[in-house]
Structures are given as C-alpha cells and as structure tokens.
C-alpha cells in the first residue's frame, strides 16, 4: 500500500507540473494575439488618417483656387463701380460685391478649420507611425520568445509524459481510475495532510485518522472532498500527535 500511495503522490506531482506547463503555454500565444490585434487597429487608424489628410489637402487647394476666382471677380466689380451711371446699377453692383465678400469670408473660415484639422491629422499620423514601429518590435520579440519557449516546454512535456506513463504503469487500473476520477472533479487528487487538516479542503482530521494516514497502510479519502490523503514528511511537526 505504501508503494501505491507513493506512486499516486508522484503521479500527482507530474500532473501538477503538466497542468502548469499547459497554463503557461496558454499565456504567450494570447499575448502575441493581442499584439497582432493592436497592430491591425493601428494600421487601420493610420490608413484612415492618411486618406483623410489626402482629401483635406485636396480640399484646401480647391478652396484656395475658389478664393482666387472670387477675389478676381471682386476686383472686377469694384472697378466697374466707377463706371456705373444709375443708382439702380450701383445698388445691384454693391449687392453683388457684398455677396462675394461674404463668400470669400466663408471660404477663409473653411480653410482655417480644415488647416487646423490637417495639423491634428499630421500629429496623429506621427504618433501612430511611432506606435506601429514599437508594436512591430514587441511582436517580433514575442514571436521569437514563443518559438523558443514552445520548443523548451515541448521537450519538458514529453519528458514528464514519459515519466507519467512509467508511474501509471506501476499502478493497478483500479487505483489509477480512482485517481483520475478525483482529478477530473477536484484538479488535485492526492493531497498532503497540512496542520492536521486536509491539504485540499482544510477539513480537520481526527487523531485516529491522522495516525492511519501516517502509517500509510490504507487508502484513505478525505471525508470532506474525497481526495486521497497522504502524509507529508515536511509537515511532520505541525502534524505531530
Ligand atoms: Zn478534503
């Protein structure tokens, strides 16, 4: 029985290590994925900002040329003002001149507001470009790390799986099945007694039971959680009767 308990405890140790490896594995690929997603977002924003900048600059050019046209027209009408002979012609012409002045002012306002936007867009493009190169650097590093880490953990994993198979082979099917059934539900199947309590659910253990666990001649399951209880030498003092 002592051997069985010993093998079960070793099996648990290996399974815990394998679970840790699996958990660590899950983390880095996730980080790489997050970085890739961030890269895609930055690229999309960069593209949108660049397109907007292009259209704004085109709009500024067209506003400038419109403004030139109106200014030429204004100069022409202002010259004509000296040539009119009737009040009616004079009024019509000043009306026209006022309309053009309003139009020129509107264009000027539009030009100012788009120019402001262009300044902001250029700043945004600079920031995004910096962010993009930073992300590319981090991503390259993370991918490299992932590859080397994966190689390393795969080796370790294979090694542990080999040892697991060996230990599991020493156990009878009956105990192995029992162990695996508890593991499925509890994630830990074999727990040491800690401070006179179950290392899994902390249920207090009677002196009699503690004595039996210490003897190691029986297969004892915790009354609280059903885990297999083993005696831990490390915890000898706190468990002493
Ligand atoms: Zn328990």
Query: What are the residue ranges spanned by the domains of the chain?
Result: 2-171, 174-239
What's the pLDDT score for residue 72? 97
CA of 189 to the centre of ligand 1 (A): 10
Average pLDDT over residues 12-28: 87
What's the pLDDT score for residue 196? 92
CA of 182 to the centre of ligand 1 (A): 11
CA of 157 to the centre of ligand 1 (A): 29
Average pLDDT over residues 24-29: 77
CA of 161 to the centre of ligand 1 (A): 27
- Determine contact, residues 26/146, Cβ cutoff 8 Å: no
Residue 12 has pLDDT above 70, yes or no: yes
Average pLDDT over residues 11-18: 95
What's the pLDDT score for residue 237? 54
What's the pLDDT score for residue 1? 84
Pairwise CA distance, residues 83 & 100, whole Å: 19
Indicate the pTM of the whole model. 0.58
CA of 192 to the centre of ligand 1 (A): 10
pLDDT band per the 50, 70, 90 thresholds, residue 240: low
CA of 11 to the centre of ligand 1 (A): 18
CA distances from 50 to 3, 4, 43, 128 (A): 71, 69, 10, 11
Range of lowest pLDDT (52-66, 120-134, 139-153, 187-201): 139-153
CA of 168 to the centre of ligand 1 (A): 23
CA distances from 128 to 38, 53, 95 (A): 11, 14, 49
CA of 231 to the centre of ligand 1 (A): 13
CA of 57 to the centre of ligand 1 (A): 72
What's the pLDDT score for residue 238? 56
Signed CA dihedral, 165, 170, 173, 178: sign only: negative
- State the architecture of 2-171 in CATH terms: Orthogonal Bundle (1.10)
What's the pLDDT score for residue 27? 76
CA of 129 to the centre of ligand 1 (A): 56
Q: What pLDDT, in 10s, does the model give residues 52-96?
A: 999 999 999 999 999 999 999 999 999 999 999 999 999 999 999
- Angle 29-30-31 (CA atoms, 0-180°, nearest 5)? 90
Pairwise CA distance, residues 8 & 132, whole Å: 52
CA of 224 to the centre of ligand 1 (A): 5
What's the pLDDT score for residue 236? 57
Q: What pLDDT, in 10s, does the model give residues 38-60?
A: 999 999 999 999 999 999 999 99
For 154, residues 6+ apart whose C-beta sits below 8 A from its C-beta are none
The owner of tokens 């099996």 is: 11
CA of 23 to the centre of ligand 1 (A): 24
Rounded to the nearest integer, the mean pLDDT of the chain is 93
CA of 220 to the centre of ligand 1 (A): 11
What's the pLDDT score for residue 166? 96
Q: What pLDDT, in 10s, does the model give residues 164-203?
A: 999 999 999 999 999 999 999 998 999 999 999 999 999 9
Range of lowest pLDDT (26-30, 129-133, 134-138): 26-30
CA of 191 to the centre of ligand 1 (A): 8
CA of 202 to the centre of ligand 1 (A): 6
């Amino acid at each position: 029985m002592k051997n069985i308990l010993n093998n079960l405890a070793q099996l648990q140790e290996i399974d815990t290590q394998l679970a840790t490896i699996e958990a660590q594995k899950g983390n880095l690929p996730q980080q790489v994925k997050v970085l890739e997603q961030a890269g895609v977002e930055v690229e999309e924003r960069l593209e949108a900002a660049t397109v907007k900048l292009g259209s704004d600059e085109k709009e500024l050019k067209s506003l400038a040329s419109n403004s030139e046209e109106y200014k030429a027209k204004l100069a022409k009408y202002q010259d004509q003002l000296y040539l009119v002979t009737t009040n009616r012609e004079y009024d019509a012409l000043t009306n026209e001149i006022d309309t053009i002045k309003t139009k020129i002012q509107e264009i000027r306002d539009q030009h100012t507001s788009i120019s402001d936007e262009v300044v902001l867009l250029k700043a945004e493009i600079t920031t995004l470009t910096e962010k993009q190169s930073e992300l590319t650097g981090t991503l390259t590093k993370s991918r490299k790390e992932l590859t080397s880490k994966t190689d390393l953990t795969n080796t370790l994993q294979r090694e542990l799986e080999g040892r697991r198979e060996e230990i599991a082979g020493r156990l009878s099917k009956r105990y192995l099945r029992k162990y695996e059934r508890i593991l499925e539900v509890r994630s830990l199947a074999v727990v040491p007694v800690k401070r006179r309590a179950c290392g899994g659910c902390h249920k207090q253990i009677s002196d009699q039971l503690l004595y039996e666990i210490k003897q190691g001649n029986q297969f004892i399951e915790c009354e609280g959680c059903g885990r297999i209880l083993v005696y831990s030498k490390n915890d000898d003092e706190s468990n002493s009767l």
